[in-house]
Amino acid sequence: MALPKVKFIEAPIGLEIHMIYSFLFKFEWGWGNIIIKRYPKLKPVYKIKKEKEKKEFIKKYIIRFRILNQKRISTQKEKIEKVWRKVEKEYLAVLGQVINTEWPSNREEIKAMISINPICPRFLDDWSFSLSFRYYGKGAMHVIMHEICHFLYFEKWKELFPKSKRRTWDRPYIEWHLSEIVAPVILNDERIQKILKQKATFYREHQGVKIKGISAPKYFSKLYANCLKKNKNFDYFIKEAYRIIKINKKIFLNIGKK
* Contact yes or no for 34/118 (Cβ under 8 A): yes
> What distance in Å separates the CA atoms of residue 190 and residue 224, rounded to the nearest whole number?
12
Q: Angle at the Cα of 122 (from 41 to 24), degrees rounded to 5?
A: 25
Instruction: Give the pairing type, strands 5-10 and 122-123.
Output: unpaired
> What distance in Å separates the CA atoms of residue 240 and residue 224, rounded to the nearest whole number?
10
- So what's the pLDDT on residue 30? 84
* Contact yes or no for 19/122 (Cβ under 8 A): no
Q: Are residues 92 and 50 in the same domain?
A: yes
Identify the domain containing residue 142 by its residue range. 5-156
- So what's the pLDDT on residue 27? 81
Q: Are residues 65 and 14 in the same domain?
A: yes
- So what's the pLDDT on residue 212? 94
Q: Are residues 170 and 109 in the same domain?
A: no
Residue 205, domain member (yes or no) = yes
> What distance in Å separates the CA atoms of residue 71 and residue 74, rounded to the nearest whole number?
5
Q: Are residues 177 and 122 in the same domain?
A: no
Residue 9, domain member (yes or no) = yes
Torsion of Cα atoms, 148 then 99 then 188 then 233, to 10°:
170
Long-range contacts of 143-146 (CB under 8 A, 24+ apart): 144/6, 144/80, 144/84, 144/112, 145/91, 145/95, 145/187, 145/192, 145/195, 145/196, 145/200, 146/183, 146/184, 146/187, 146/200
Query: From residue 256, how far is each of 76, 86, 168, 249 by CA, in Å?
Result: 34, 39, 19, 14
Could you tell me the sign of the dihedral formed by the alpha carbons of 121, 124, 126, 128, in that order?
A: positive
Please state the domain count of the chain: 2
What are the pLDDT tens digits along the chain (258 aa)? 689 999 999 999 999 999 999 999 998 778 999 999 999 999 999 999 999 999 999 999 999 999 999 999 999 999 999 999 999 999 999 999 999 999 999 999 999 999 999 999 999 999 999 999 999 899 999 999 999 999 999 999 999 999 999 999 999 999 999 999 999 999 999 999 999 999 999 999 999 999 999 999 999 999 999 999 999 999 999 999 999 999 999 999 988 765
Instruction: Give the pairing type, strands 122-123 and 128-132.
Output: antiparallel
Q: Are residues 248 and 140 in the same domain?
A: no
> What distance in Å separates the CA atoms of residue 208 and residue 192, rounded to the nearest whole number?
26
Q: 64 by DSSP, 3-state: which?
A: helix
Residue 258, domain member (yes or no) = no
Helix 70-85 / helix 51-68 crossing angle, nearest 10 deg? 80
Judge residue 127's burial from the number of C-beta atoms within 10 Å of its C-beta, 0-12 exposed, 13-18 middle, 19 or more buried: buried
Q: Are residues 234 and 190 in the same domain?
A: yes
Q: Are residues 146 and 181 in the same domain?
A: no
Q: Are residues 122 and 215 in the same domain?
A: no
Question: Taking every pair of C-alpha atoms in the chain, what is the biggest distance, in angstroms?
Answer: 58
Q: Are residues 141 and 183 in the same domain?
A: no
Residue 105, domain member (yes or no) = yes
